């Protein structure tokens, strides 16, 4: 009897949520010194919760950016002089145009790197 009750509890548990990753290669747009980039968008039950952007500079350096997404995607590290935002149009998780916006905390410095999303693949 106890064994049947345990199985009933297991079967009544909700099914696992659907998680997905969308990966896009990004072609650099005008005004950027970044030569290649990859964007990964992480979603859980269709809601985007984070994004990872890896870019390569013309000098060969790889720059990783990890964004927390809750309406807007931001990377705000303690002790860093800059705040980073990921702007995506028309929206997540199906980007066409992507901008990496860098803003300084101490002054009015701001930079925008623009990209076009190419070859996006969604994996469950």
Query: pLDDT tens-digit profile of 6-32?
Result: 444 444 455 566 889 999 999 998 777
Query: pLDDT tens-digit profile of 89-109?
Result: 998 888 999 999 999 988 889
Beta strands per DSSP E along the chain: 19-28, 34-44, 47-57, 62-69, 73-76, 82-89, 97-104, 110-123
pLDDT at 10: 45
% pLDDT > 70, the chain: 86
pTM for the model: 0.80
């Amino acid at each position: 009897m106890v064994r049947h009750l345990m199985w009933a509890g297991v079967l009544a548990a909700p099914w696992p949520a659907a998680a997905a990753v969308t990966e896009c290669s990004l072609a650099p747009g005008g005004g950027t010194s970044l030569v290649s980039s990859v964007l990964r968008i992480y979603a859980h039950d269709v809601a985007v919760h984070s994004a990872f952007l890896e870019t390569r500079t013309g000098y060969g350096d790889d720059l990783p950016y990890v964004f927390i997404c809750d309406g807007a995607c931001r990377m705000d590290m303690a002790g860093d002089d800059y705040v980073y935002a990921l702007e995506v149009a028309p929206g997540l998780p199906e980007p066409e145009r992507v901008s990496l916006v860098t803003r300084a905390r101490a002054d009015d410095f701001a930079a925008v790197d623009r990209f076009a999303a190419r070859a996006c693949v969604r994996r469950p």
